[in-house]
Amino acid sequence: MSQPDDIQVLWCDPALLVINKHAGLRTLPDGYNPTLPHVKRLLEQEFGRLWIVHRLDRETSGVLLLARTAEAHRSLNTQFEQHLVSKIYHALVIGNPDWQEKTISLPLRPNGDRHHRTVIDLDQGKPAVTRLKVMERFDHYCLIEAIPETGRTHQIRTHLSSLGLYIAGDKLYGARKNDFYSDVGLHLQRDLALDEKSIGGIGLHAFSLEINHPTHGERLKFEAAYPEALAYILEQLRELGKQK
């Protein structure tokens, strides 16, 4: 079975299609330029009609779930609405907090400023809860596990930035002039060539997603390998740590 645009298929059956979306690829059509590539258009060429169940930001990589029937779509939507879906993200952030675990509960309002960012709004925002845990620490960075208990737009990015932690390469919530690599201060003089898809992302990866199968109810967990760029940067940060 071919994989359009080098999209990695993690699971495929008559009801479900699960992929590891690469950074830089849109989940749905762009509102300004609908001709740009997006997941639905690329995959429907191979798998027939698909229903988007949830979204990942264009810059975010990782597990993305699609339904292959209307019935599966309804079942999965219900699971999301009833908080039966478990999602785990990994984020490489600039900063090193003094806590090991933290739960942040701050209401969010999308498109809340002139840059179209999600903002914290205690009066008009919708409830949003994210559980955070530091997985690895480096000199000026850390790898954080983020578990969103709600599914607000840019929830993890906004909650982290409210703590003074910015995802590497995030020009919207972090340093606008920097990219994934300058944010972590690494030079790209290496043998492994990174293509445009690898460079177009940020240090946020949808690592796993757990659902009840919409047809037979079995609990399933899908995990997506890190994109090439994030894996390389983490490898380099670990090596730098060993040298000190």
CATH of the domain at 141: 3.30.2350.10
Burial per residue of 96-123, b for 16 or more beta-carbon CB atoms within 10 angstroms, e otherwise:
ebeeeeeebebbbbbebeeeebbbbeee
DSSP 131-186: EEEEEEE-SSEEEEEEEESS--TTHHHHHHHHTT-EETT-TTTS-TT--HHHHHT-
pLDDT of residue 193: 46
* pLDDT, tens digit (0-9, with 9 covering 90-100), for 140-176: 899 999 999 999 999 999 999 999 999 988 989 986 6
pLDDT of residue 186: 63
pLDDT of residue 2: 42
pLDDT of residue 196: 39
Q: How far apart are CA 140 and CA 142, in angstroms?
A: 7
The whole domain housing 33 covers 4-242
Give me the number of domains the chain comprises.
1
**Torsional sign, CA 1, 22, 65, 30:** negative
30 has catalytic annotation: no
- Which residues partner with 132 through β-bridges? 102, 146
Question: What pTM was computed for the model?
Answer: 0.90
Q: How far apart are CA 35 and CA 121, in angstroms?
A: 34
Catalytic residue among 5, 13, 30, 57: 57
* The dihedral formed by the CA atoms of 118, 21, 207 and 95, expressed in degrees to the nearest 10: -50
State which residues of the chain have pLDDT below 70. Answer: 1-5, 175-183, 185-200, 244
pLDDT of residue 226: 95
